[in-house]
Structure 1
């Protein structure tokens, strides 16, 4: 888990994440302690007040292996695309076609 979170393929700093959804999949040999260990590792890397929802499942084809899917919100990164946050005043100016004087 530590290695995956430090991977250069994950070019996003998750330390500011405000919520996380974690799915841990392992073979029949995976223990609940191992699944909890994965979640604990993630918890230590995100905001302490973040909400975490997690689950674990067994896949017979995953003997001696584990796979984790992590979805986080609230992170900042140049790799995340989307509409930039526009300040409230600018939205009002555009919406009502008005000018604010300073």
Structure 2
């Protein structure tokens, strides 16, 4: 993640660029080149567009700036969902006050 001063400085530049008609994808590419993380990029999209969190996450996820990690992220989320489903099928935690058998 980028430091707060760097984030604020770039965000001011990005606001000017977006107001001048620069596409958001171009701004996201610049964010990544400057060392911003995906989380920083989501924060920036929200700040620049007023988009809700889910929309900002999708914008970053589908952007060309982060395309090289998209497949890895999708596999991670799929694996996480599968692991959670397996946990849901398990016996679950013991009930308070009971003793395991």
Alignment TM-score, normalising by the size of structure 2: 0.29
| Higher normalized helix content (fraction of residues) | 2
Higher strand residue share: 1
Higher relative contact order (CA 8 A, sep 6+): 1
